[in-house]
Amino acid sequence: YSELNPDMVQMDDIDSATETGTKHILEAAERSIPKTSGKFPKQWRPWIWLEEYFPVTWRKAVVIPIPKPGKDPQIPTSYRPIALTSCLCKLMERMVNARLVHVLEENGFLSNFQSGFRYGRGTIDNVLMLETAIRDAFVTKKHLVSVFFDMDKAYDRTWRYGILKDMYNMGFRGKLPIFIKNFLMTRTFQVRIGDILSQNFQQYEGVPQGSVLSVILFIIKLNGIINHLPQYVHSSLYVDDLQIYCASVNMSFIERQLQTAVRNITCWANKNGFIISNQNTSCVHFCKIRGIHPHPEIFLKDTPIPVVSEAKFLGIIFDDKLTFKPHIVNLKQKCVKTLNLLKILSNTSWGADFQSLLKIYKSLILSKLDYGCMIYGSASKSVLQILDPVHHLGLRLASGAFRTSHVHSLYVICGVPCLQFRRQTLSLEYYFRIKGDSEHPMYDRVLHPLFGTFFSNKKSYTPSFGHRMRFLIQDLDMENVVILAKEEETPPWTERNIAVIDDFCKQIKSLTPDSVYLQLFYSHRQQFSTYEAV
């Protein structure tokens, strides 16, 4: 794994896509290379890799500032920079990125608690980790204190030499570190507002914005921050969103452990060029123990970290009692604003048709309701019912039904179940996805949840996700469902021979009814009935 040899950078997977038009795009892009670029061979991809050549134009970017909603346009930090880079460079980055990520995953170089931009992982993994720890702390009469860190301009402050040093410590040698070095050095950019371009500015530090490789390089650099935590402090990381927590019956023990962790994280950040924001870093004390309990005193650079009653972590608002009511109320407010767009588009004289309105509702509103529903679905029924009017109004606007129409008829007409069934379905899908991946960090905590006796004896406490799914699976009689284990990924540099159904190609789509395609599909399934369906 230490060196990606020329056999691993053959681009057969790209060149084989001739019929889809990819080759024509590449040829057009290669013809667009200026004559002044010098000698540029036809097989430019392996040539760039083997000759260690990186075109100067690939290091340039055009930055377009996009204003952030609700921010003062007179302040430069109120804009989100969108960087446009060379398409050929992005293509080369994607090829290297696929191979680099495969090697990192195969050899376990990345921390198991880093969920950012990894196959089969997502933000819900980190949110579930924190929610499970809080539920377990509640039922065992413990305090749990969590610190949510915020890094100022983490991408722009990433230490480039530190990335190369970490890759060297991982054992990477040969052409790959040289390519990464050429990719990072002498980056320039221009800011474009309308048709006006600014002068060229040089980016001395940080990873390039808008590049495919930047994310994995940033993750490599930030990967070591978790290794500096004490034994009783747990953490989760999604790219640069770092959260640590500690649970105990003794608040003094929690303060000592978290203070040591914050001190170690600050020292690591100072050595590696990162700056942790004092203003945006917060702390939440989760506790359901009766009585008055003092909040923890934790300092960041001699400044006390503010203890707040609620904090947003990866899009989910956690309150100190874990009722999720602030999150659900905030979610309803956002969805109601988006429903105004659906009201305009549902005009009876010139509005959109039923299918278009339903797709808009699913993409703009229902997607917000779905995100994190397996976590905030543990809230009480009275709190979850706050979202039902939003769902019903969206279905009425899409279907054109009257206000007096029964909600069950809306579910049938639109083919969309109620939110409760939808939350259960998505929770089951997430549960079985974890069950099929034995390397998932929450595999044991979900399939073999702790404190089952405590939750059984204390009905007033909401059980953790693993227990909730166990009860649901028992009710649905799905205990004997067999889940296929996660298959090992094929290395990107190997040739993939995928057999596809070519019976459909013999038919003309415009002249063939749907029933013919169904019969062909059923015939194919019957022919290969001994194969495993995935």
The token duo for 229 is 């935590």
Q: Is residue 92 part of a domain?
A: no
337 and 284, same domain (yes or no): no
312 and 331, same domain (yes or no): no
Q: Is residue 101 part of a domain?
A: no
443 and 348, same domain (yes or no): yes
Q: Is residue 490 part of a domain?
A: no
Written as tens digits, the pLDDT of the chain (534 aa) is 444 444 444 444 434 333 344 455 455 555 545 444 444 555 666 677 888 888 888 889 999 999 988 888 888 888 888 889 888 889 889 989 999 999 999 998 999 889 988 888 999 999 999 999 999 999 999 999 999 999 988 888 899 999 999 999 999 988 889 999 999 988 999 999 888 999 999 988 889 888 889 999 999 999 989 888 999 999 999 988 999 999 999 999 999 999 999 999 999 999 998 999 888 999 999 999 888 888 899 999 889 999 999 999 999 999 999 999 999 999 999 999 999 999 999 887 787 889 999 999 999 999 999 999 999 999 999 999 999 999 999 999 999 988 888 999 999 999 999 999 999 999 999 999 999 888 899 999 999 999 999 999 998 999 999 999 999 999 999 888 888 777 777 888 887 777 776 777 778 888 888 888 888 888 888 888 887 766
- Amino acid 20: pLDDT: 41
Q: Which residues, 6 or more positions from 512, have their beta carbon under 8 angstroms from its beta carbon?
A: none
Instruction: Give SS3 for 169.
Output: helix
301 and 235, same domain (yes or no): yes
Secondary structure letter of residue 80 according to DSSP = E
Instruction: Give SS3 for 151.
Output: strand
Angle (nearest 5°) at CA 180 between 213 and 158: 70
Secondary structure letter of residue 494 according to DSSP = S
Taking the C-alpha atoms of residue 321 and residue 272, their distance in angstroms, rounded to an integer, is 36
Q: Is residue 214 part of a domain?
A: no
Could you tell me how far CA 509 lies from the centroid of its own chain? 37
Domain termination site, one of 444, 461, 476 = 476
Taking the C-alpha atoms of residue 324 and residue 310, their distance in angstroms, rounded to an integer, is 10
Domain termination site, one of 283, 302, 319 = 319
Q: Is residue 87 part of a domain?
A: no
- For 26, the domain range is 1-35
> H helices then E strands: how many in the chain?
21, 14
The residues pairing with 308 across neighbouring beta strands, listed in sequence order, are: 284
Q: Is residue 193 part of a domain?
A: no
277 and 368, same domain (yes or no): no
Domain termination site, one of 262, 294, 319 = 319
Angle (nearest 5°) at CA 251 between 279 and 124: 60
The residues pairing with 311 across neighbouring beta strands, listed in sequence order, are: 318
Phi–psi pair at 451, nearest 5 degrees: 60, 40
Q: Is residue 241 part of a domain?
A: yes
Instruction: Give SS3 for 378.
Output: coil
The token duo for 147 is 């610190």
The alpha carbon dihedral of 345, 348, 352, 353 has a sign of positive
Instruction: Give SS3 for 193.
Output: strand
Instruction: Name which of 489, 490, 491, 487 is nearest 4 in CA terms.
Output: 491
Taking the C-alpha atoms of residue 44 and residue 15, their distance in angstroms, rounded to an integer, is 13
406 and 265, same domain (yes or no): no
438 and 356, same domain (yes or no): yes
260 and 399, same domain (yes or no): no
360 and 307, same domain (yes or no): no
284 and 344, same domain (yes or no): no
Are 346 and 400 in contact, with CB atoms under 8 Å apart?
yes
Phi–psi pair at 414, nearest 5 degrees: -85, -15
Are 304 and 362 in contact, with CB atoms under 8 Å apart?
no
Residue 308 belongs to domain with CATH number: 3.30.70
Are 396 and 405 in contact, with CB atoms under 8 Å apart?
yes
Alpha helix (H) residue ranges in 272-353: 325-345
Q: Is residue 262 part of a domain?
A: yes
Instruction: Give SS3 for 236.
Output: strand
User: Quick check: pTM over 0.95?
Assistant: no
Are 293 and 137 in contact, with CB atoms under 8 Å apart?
no
Are 135 and 322 in contact, with CB atoms under 8 Å apart?
yes
Instruction: Name which of 377, 409, 381, 383 is nearest 396 in CA terms.
Output: 409
Taking the C-alpha atoms of residue 188 and residue 166, their distance in angstroms, rounded to an integer, is 24
First to last CA, the chain: 30
143 and 288, same domain (yes or no): yes
Q: Which residues, 6 or more positions from 83, have their beta carbon under 8 angstroms from its beta carbon?
A: 61, 62, 63, 64, 189, 208, 209, 210, 211
259 and 382, same domain (yes or no): no
Instruction: Name which of 169, 122, 130, 124 is nearest 148 in CA terms.
Output: 130
Phi–psi pair at 339, nearest 5 degrees: -65, -25
Taking the C-alpha atoms of residue 82 and residue 84, their distance in angstroms, rounded to an integer, is 7
Alpha helix (H) residue ranges in 107-154: 123-139
Report the number of distinct structural domains present in the chain: 3
The alpha carbon dihedral of 306, 307, 308, 314 has a sign of positive
Instruction: Name which of 242, 225, 211 is nearest 115 in CA terms.
Output: 242
Strand ranges inside 54-186, DSSP E: 60-67, 79-84, 143-148
How would you write 514-525 as a 3-class SS string? HHHHHHHHHHHH
Instruction: Name which of 431, 439, 423 is nearest 467 in CA terms.
Output: 431
